[in-house]
Amino acid sequence: MALLVDKHRPRSLDALSYHPDLSERLKALAQSGDFPHLLVYGPSGAGKKTRIVATLKELYGPGVEKIKIDSRIFQTTSNRKLEFNIVASVYHLEITPSDVGNYDRVVIQDLLKEVAQTQQVDANAKQRFKVVVVNEADSLSRDAQAALRRTMEKYSPNLRLILLANSTANIIAPIRSRTLLVRVAAPSEEEICKVLTKVGKMEKFKEVEGLNKRIAKESGRNLRKALLMFEAVYAQNDNINERTPIPPPDWEALIAQIADEIIAERTPARLLQVRAKYYDLLSHCIPATMVLKTLTFKLIVKVDDELKGEVVKWSAYYEHRIRMGSKVIFHLEAFTAKFMGIYERHLMGMEF
Amino acid sequence: MASFFDIRARKAAAAANAGSSKAPASKQENNRLQPWVEKYRPKTLSDVTAQDHTITVLQRTLQASNLPHMLFYGPPGTGKTSTILALAKELYGPELIHSRVLELNASDERGISIVREKVKDFARQQLSNPPSGPAGIEYGKRYPMPPFKIIILDEADSMTQDAQSALRRTMETYSKITRFCLVCNYVTRIIDPLASRCSKFRFKSLDKSNAGQRLEEIAKLEGVPLGEGAVDALVKCSDGDLRKAITFLQSAARLVGALSSGKKDADAMDVDEPANEVTKETVEEIAGTIPDDTIDALLKAIQPRKNGSVYAPTAETVQNIVADGWSATQVLTQLYDKVIYDEKIADLKKGKIAMVFSETDKRLVDGADEHLAILDLVLRISSILSSG
């Protein structure tokens, strides 16, 4: 059984439920025959990928939905072999170059050149060009982005790129100026509610408006998360009413617990206990940034207004360090210790 | 062949033609897919927008048929590459330009081995012959065809130090038959020995009127209706970078054009609707500029107030900005412009605020989380504002 998220994913541009302007634009672009390179950005769960898949369908017809997974081997200059997975249909390719880390440049150069140099074989195809969708474009290395630059201009008759990114901050300016920027904003809470109601109807769930609203609020304007929560609530409870608790994901529950513990007792012994929990989270592949961010927002609601600025300051500080450093646990612990210090001093009425 | 030796006559012809050589009515490919940046690249030196000083000097050298090694530097999109390409075209004409000019830019491999092989090979090549016969004589009258080749090293500041030092001697040895032109953004990244071998030309950032004029010209040629304030918005969003402005214009035109053609099919009833023009909003949307309202709301939220804390409203505004997908760097830039030019804030505070901006920028470039970074930024600005 598929998850609700996948089951009810809109498949065409007309079926998309929010941002009608954007859908219309994409449709017009797809029909105009003069399709530019796109850089699609927005927060996660806003529907970037869904929109792209729908646009591809508008461009090529239902053929794009027949996909297969290819495994390809690339050779780096130092003769290392890289294995790389490509999702492909007759008309388009989808790659996630960040899979191969530092070697993304090799993959980008080889693969795009190969695609660009082959013409569209299918005479019935609607468009003469192939589309390459690049996922997580914001984690492409500088080298890889520089390699894209010339490729985009040189091979533009045979190749269109669609870059997907969470933010444009890490995309170099030359790429940004060569693409049409498409911003996909997260849906508002009402829009999420509408989607939930619609999905609920199709699944024949009992409709509870208050619950939908709460889910929309909890999800932080992330539609994917909202749908997952929605499904979880209905799977776990038989009798649904306004006050049915929404089970948070395990990791979020654990972080909430950590926050409570830190506030309750501020000693080195407690730090040691919390440390075990951090390890638990990290070993379940929860990104450290996410841990720190969630923890910060859980802590902030519990502290005095005066302290809030200070907490955010140190959180941002250690988040940066997590990004730069090599071992994340140090920085998580450091933040915890720092917070304990600030909080303790505040309670004692000392200036920090 | 006669004209080949008759240098004086050729010079006179060249001088006479210098003014009217705009004539080669370029076969403008009506290719819609061609980027406008390429399509409207200046064809002759006199077409280059602004940069009067540089152009005058170059035009004089054009008449004298002698060229020093050159180093062009200046911010992106000011016409450095366009100028050297236009100059090469005027010097050699369409037939010789391929054999006499070598252009290398950053996307070509440009390590030390390339400098040693490709550049050196080209530098020591014999000069290619101008076309012969009566057509050749005619050709010779139109183009000066000076007896040297040009090597253009575009984006030279991204060349490694080693590669640059390998150029030093090459430049001198073959100076009889080869001239180098280095093009870069930062002159400081060019090693001194190279810089001292070249005569330097600084390209200044385009001012508003020049850039605006050129944009209007292009819009007219392409038949794109421009709404009120669109040109200003284009110039503002692009910071004097004409290339960026033209790309924005093209994207906007594409979007608006695509929309209108799509609409016509759907319902032909909407004839009354004003013809789709490129408006200020379209441009700002494409450039990813955040609407002023959003920034103002953020500024309002961080103002210190008497009762209650700034945290709750600020956190909410920031949350919305992040959820709307605005890029953090853009927030940073626009907020900076607003805060720094605000006259109500004391200078000392501005200094402190600038430091916060600098730190946040560094964090964002390192890939830190945008939400936390922006929240931290505005809360710290807020506390600086309220202190003292």
CB-CB under 8 Å, B364 with A186: no
Antiparallel, parallel or unpaired: β A81-88 and A92-95: antiparallel
How close, in Å, is residue A185 to chain B by CA atoms? 4
Q: Is the pLDDT of residue A339 over 90?
A: yes
Beta bridge partners of B229: none
Interface test with B, best of A31, A32, A305 (most B CBs within 10 A): A32
Do B339 and B374 form a contact (C-beta atoms < 8 A)?
no
pLDDT tier, A295 (very low <50, low <70, confident <90, very high otherwise): very high
Per DSSP, helices labelled H in A265-304 are 268-283, 288-300
Count CB pairs under 8 A between chains A and B: 143
Q: Which residue of chain A comes nearest to B262, CA vs CA? A: A28
Nearest to A41 among B257, B325, B368 (CB): B325
Cα B116 to Cα A92: distance, rounded to the nearest angstrom: 40
Do B72 and B184 form a contact (C-beta atoms < 8 A)?
yes
- The predicted-structure confidence for A39-96, as pLDDT tens digits, reads as follows 898 888 888 889 998 998 888 888 888 888 888 888 877 778 888 888 888 888 898 8
**Chain B contact present for A303, CB below 8 A:** no
CB contact set of B117 (below 8 Å; sequence gap of 6+): none
Q: Can you tell me the ipTM of this complex?
A: 0.82
Nearest to B251 among A36, A42, A157 (CB): A36
- The predicted-structure confidence for A171-182, as pLDDT tens digits, reads as follows 887 788 778 888
Interface test with B, best of A313, A323, A351 (most B CBs within 10 A): A313
Q: Is the pLDDT of residue B91 over 80?
A: yes
Q: Is the pLDDT of residue B295 over 60?
A: yes
The distance of Cα B318 from the centroid of its chain, to the nearest Å, equals 33
CB-CB under 8 Å, B258 with A34: yes
CB-CB under 8 Å, B33 with A157: yes
Give A27's contacts in chain B (Cβ within 8 Å).
262
CB contact set of A125 (below 8 Å; sequence gap of 6+): A60, A90, A91
What pTM value is reported for the model? 0.75
Give A151's contacts in chain B (Cβ within 8 Å).
107
Q: pLDDT over 90 for what percent of chain A?
A: 16
CB-CB under 8 Å, A168 with B329: yes
CB contact set of B330 (below 8 Å; sequence gap of 6+): A168, B288, B289, B290
Beta-carbon neighbour count of residue A76 at 10 Å? 15
CB-CB under 8 Å, B370 with A167: yes
Nearest to A195 by CA among A166, A230, A237, A220: A230
Nearest to A308 among B243, B309, B328 (CB): B309
CB-CB under 8 Å, A177 with B244: yes
The answer to whether the Cα torsion of B17, B242, B78, A139 is positive or negative is: negative
Antiparallel, parallel or unpaired: β A38-41 and A81-88: unpaired
Angle between the N-to-C axes of helices B311-323 and B370-386, in degrees from 0 to 180, rounded to the nearest 10: 150
Q: Which residue of chain B comes nearest to A40, CA vs CA? A: B325
- The predicted-structure confidence for A298-335, as pLDDT tens digits, reads as follows 998 888 888 888 899 999 999 999 988 888 999 999 99
Nearest to A312 among B108, B319, B376 (CB): B376
How close, in Å, is residue A223 to chain B by CA atoms? 11
**Chain B contact present for A351, CB below 8 A:** no
Given strand A159-165, what is the order of strands in its sheet?
Answer: A68-75, A81-88, A92-95, A130-134, A159-165, A38-41, A180-183
CB-CB under 8 Å, A293 with B369: yes
| Two tokens, residue A112 | 């795009």
For chain B, report the end-to-end CA distance as a whole number of angstroms.
Answer: 83
CB-CB under 8 Å, B368 with A180: no
For residue A279, the model assigns a pLDDT of 92
CB contact set of A303 (below 8 Å; sequence gap of 6+): A263, A311, A343, A346
The amino acid sitting at B95 is E
The answer to whether the Cα torsion of B21, B23, B29, B32 is positive or negative is: positive
CB-CB under 8 Å, B309 with A305: yes
CB-CB under 8 Å, B330 with A168: yes
Cα A279 to Cα A267: distance, rounded to the nearest angstrom: 19
**Beta strand ranges found along B92-232 (DSSP E):** 101-104, 149-153, 178-184, 199-202
For residue A278, the model assigns a pLDDT of 92
How close, in Å, is residue B201 to chain A by CA atoms? 23
Q: pLDDT over 70 for what percent of chain A?
A: 97
For residue B265, the model assigns a pLDDT of 45
CB-CB under 8 Å, B288 with A183: yes
Q: Within the 215-274 window of chain A, which residues sit less than 8 Å (CB to CB) from chain B?
A: 220-221
The distance of Cα B172 from the centroid of its chain, to the nearest Å, equals 30
Residue B226 DSSP code? B
Interface test with A, best of B39, B311, B334, B365 (most A CBs within 10 A): B311
Q: Which residue of chain A comes nearest to B109, CA vs CA? A: A147
Look at residue A322 and give its three-state secondary structure. helix
**Candidate from A90-94, B141-145, B197-201, B369-373 with smallest mean pLDDT:** B141-145
| Two tokens, residue B283 | 């441009």
Nearest to A308 among B244, B285, B311 (CB): B311
Q: Is the pLDDT of residue B262 over 60?
A: no
Q: Which of A56-65, A293-302, B48-57 has the highest mean pLDDT?
A: A293-302
Cα B167 to Cα B246: distance, rounded to the nearest angstrom: 34
Token pair 């450091």: residue: A334
CA angle A228, A230, A233 (to 5 degrees): 110
CB contact set of A281 (below 8 Å; sequence gap of 6+): A251, A254, A255, A291
Do B76 and A178 form a contact (C-beta atoms < 8 A)?
no
**Chain A contact present for B255, CB below 8 A:** yes
**Chain A contact present for B73, CB below 8 A:** no
Cα A270 to Cα A344: distance, rounded to the nearest angstrom: 14
Look at residue B72 and give its three-state secondary structure. strand
- The predicted-structure confidence for B172-226, as pLDDT tens digits, reads as follows 888 888 888 998 888 888 889 888 988 888 888 888 888 888 888 888 888 888 8
**Chain A contact present for B368, CB below 8 A:** yes
